[in-house]
Amino acid sequence: MAAGLRWSHVGLNCTDQKTTEEFYTRYFGFTRARVVDLGESRIVFLRKGDAYLELFAAGDTAPARAANDDGPQAPGRMRHLAFQTDSVDAFLAELGDAAEVTLGPLDFDDFICGWRTVWVRDPDGVIVEVSQGYEDDGSHDKDGA
């Protein structure tokens, strides 16, 4: 690893920064860390532990809507954001009508006992995966062999 290199953030373009901020703070536990005033616009930084989301005001283009699945599959496009929870069902109950489910919930017990996942669409169309029960397989080396 390069000296001192570590994960920083994901930048999201938002139709309405306030709506997007409320979605990630209410349902994913982020808190506002900083607001940078740029005069005509601003950048809102949200933080949860070491993870940051950087919220930008989108330009004049319509929001891109991912297909009803686990996210865009074209090269060069982010497929989805992903979070872990103790209970997908409890998360969905809390979420209520706040976001559209695009896929699932699906059980992946054939791969990992207890692994369950759902995909939802955030206010700007970004697909967000929420999983419970995923565990790394310690039998693989660094190269995945």
75 and 22 in a common domain: no
pLDDT tens for 13-56 read 888 999 999 999 999 999 999 998 888 889 999 999 989 999 98
In this structure, what DSSP letter does residue 4 have? T
Distance CA 56, CA 42 (A): 7
17-28 helix and 88-95 helix, angle to the nearest 10 degrees: 140
Phi, psi of 39 (to 5 degrees): 90, -90
Q: By C-alpha distance, which of 5, 83, 9, 4 is closest to 50? A: 9
82 and 49 in a common domain: no
- Of 27-31, 51-55, 62-66, 87-91, minimum mean pLDDT range: 62-66
> What pLDDT does residue 39 have?
85
Whether omega before 123 lies within 30 degrees of 0, making that bond cis, reads no
Quick check: is 145 in a domain? no
Over its C-alpha atoms, the chain yields an Rg (Å, rounded) of 17
Helices (H) and strands (E) in the chain, counts: 2, 8
Number of structural domains found in the chain? 2
121 and 73 in a common domain: yes
For residue 32, give its domain range.
Answer: 7-59
Q: Which of 59, 77, 103 is the last residue of a domain?
A: 59
**Antiparallel, parallel or unpaired: β 9-14 and 51-57:** parallel
The yes-or-no verdict on residue 78 having pLDDT over 70 is yes
The yes-or-no verdict on residue 65 having pLDDT over 90 is no
CATH number at residue 52: 3.10.180.10
Token pair recorded at residue 71: 């996210």
Say if residues 117 and 13 touch (Cβ distance below 8 Å).
Answer: no
Q: Could you tell me what percent of the chain has a pLDDT over 70?
A: 83
